[in-house]
């Protein structure tokens, strides 16, 4: 059995770990989709999908209610979400937790690059790992250096 090595870096997700953007996104999507489908209770359909790419969320919700989205509709919703999420507050206590962790910090996310990059600056992360193309975040195809890193993830990474 190999000996565990002490981590040299901390890699975290952005949404739900650094910033509370998912609650902002949920509120906006419930309002927007509620106007589109006023007879549908959107929340129980939407909540299990939060954290995934917006295309996946919208296509999945639309399919469950027997509808679909055009590309321009998805893009318009994405732009409204990006604007709203850029103003999302930090997760309560994360600034104090980060201050107590002396490891260099990095962020891996499947969110919008500008939104994540702004969060990285706000939290003094030293490395930014670009978003993956995967609808569910997977660290496996990403190059992470050094290989010993502590992960702060809201959900288990997909391996």
- φ, ψ at 95 (rounded to 5°): -65, -40
Together in a domain, 48 and 70: yes
Together in a domain, 74 and 94: no
Q: Which domain holds residue 114?
A: 9-20+90-152
- The whole-angstrom separation of Cα 70 and Cα 146 is 42
Together in a domain, 113 and 131: yes
Would you say residue 63 has pLDDT above 60?
A: yes
Least confident window among 24-33, 74-83, 142-151? 142-151
pLDDT tens digits for range 68-103 = 999 999 999 998 988 888 788 888 888 888 888 888
Query: Is the distance from CB of 58 to CB of 77 less than 8 angstroms?
Result: yes
Domain end among 66, 86, 106: 86
DSSP count for the chain of H helices, then E strands: 6, 4
Domain end among 68, 86, 104: 86
pTM, whole model, 2 decimals? 0.66
Question: Would residue 72 count as lying in a domain?
Answer: yes
């Amino acid at each position: 059995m190999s000996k565990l090595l002490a981590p040299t870096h901390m890699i975290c997700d952005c949404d739900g770990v650094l910033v509370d953007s998912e609650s902002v996104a949920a509120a906006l999507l419930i309002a927007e989709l509620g106007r589109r489908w006023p007879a549908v209770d959107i929340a129980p359909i939407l909540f299990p999908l939060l954290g995934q790419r917006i295309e996946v969320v919208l296509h999945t919700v639309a399919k469950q209610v027997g509808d679909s989205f055009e590309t321009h509709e998805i893009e318009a919703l994405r732009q409204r979400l990006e604007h709203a999420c850029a103003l999302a507050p930090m997760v309560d206590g994360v600034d104090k937790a980060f201050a107590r962790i002396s490891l260099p910090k990095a962020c891996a996310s499947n969110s919008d690059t500008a939104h994540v990059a702004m969060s990285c600056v706000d939290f003094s992360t030293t490395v930014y790992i670009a978003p993956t193309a995967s609808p569910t975040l997977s660290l496996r195809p990403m190059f992470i250096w050094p290989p010993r890193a502590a992960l702060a993830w809201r959900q288990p990474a997909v391996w």
